[in-house]
Structure 1
């Protein structure tokens, strides 16, 4: 496997593929133990949001290097309806759909770094990183 993977996300099976590829890349980055499950779970939450709210998008997975630390960067983007109020969307329990509203805030808690950029009508880009310990 290379240091980068680019995955199309437009159906439930793609969520599973993204989880698996993210976990594989995390292993290559030196992430181990329960942190592998953490990375896979965060990817799953973000990928599922793409399928449910935007219908299609992509996830780019990369190995990150910062000095002696290695990790995995996840960049999820779509061209869906976007998020009108990011602060509200990052609150536990808020959902514009029929979910529990835990996906975005949960992914933020699971990863070491998390950034979300959105403009209504222009999609969403989530960038998150998990560093090896």
Structure 2
């Protein structure tokens, strides 16, 4: 894993084991600091990334995360794409409902991650995996 955080140069992490979830957290923290996100925004992004990386592992059977520094022309941000080839999410509206869980947790995973970032996009369907893109902008 490299921590070069040049603009537009994606950093890739394969998510296949618990240690990879930790690697995603560490990379996101490093990139968020370099992009000058506030401590609060760093914490929000790392928390969201941790949850989404864990979901990629547990529900998607593994996959990857791509972390990129982006620039809107007015400010910098961090974009992370989580992708897996797992079973997909059959009922996305239900999965995004606070309190819904299939894993015995608190049910705040997807909905909680969505609240912690500025942009949240999910592309999924039963049988074709899931791709979640999140962006957090520097304030």
SS in 2 for 1:99: coil
Distance 1:72 1:29 in 2: 8
- Corresponding residue to 2:52 among 16, 41, 46: 46
* Paired position in structure 2 for 1:29: 35
Could you tell me which runs of 5 or more consecutive residues in structure 1 were left unpaired when the two chains were aligned.
none
Within 2, Cα distance between the matches of 1:63 and 1:112? 14
Q: Does structure 1 retain, via aligned residues, the 8 Å contact 2:15–2:57?
A: yes
Report deviation, 1:95. Answer: 1.4
Match of 1:95 in 2: 101
* Length-normalised TM-score, structure 2: 0.92
Structure 1 segments of 4+ aligned residues over 6 angstroms from their partners: none
Q: After TM superposition, list the pairs within 5 Å mapping 1:67-86 onto structure 2.
A: 67-86=73-92
**Pairs aligned (count):** 133
Greater Cα shift, 123-132 or 46-55:
46-55
User: In structure 2, what is the Cα distance between the partners aligned to 1:117 and 1:41?
Assistant: 21
Q: Tell me the equivalent position of 1:2.
A: 5
The TM-score, its normalising length taken from structure 1, stands at: 0.96
Q: CA contact under 8 A between 1:32 and 1:132: conserved in structure 2?
A: yes
Match among 96, 108, 130 for residue 124 of structure 1: 130
Query: What stretches of structure 2 of length at least 5 have no aligned partner?
Result: none
Of residues 76-85 and 96-105 in structure 1, the stretch that sits farther from structure 2 once superposed is 96-105
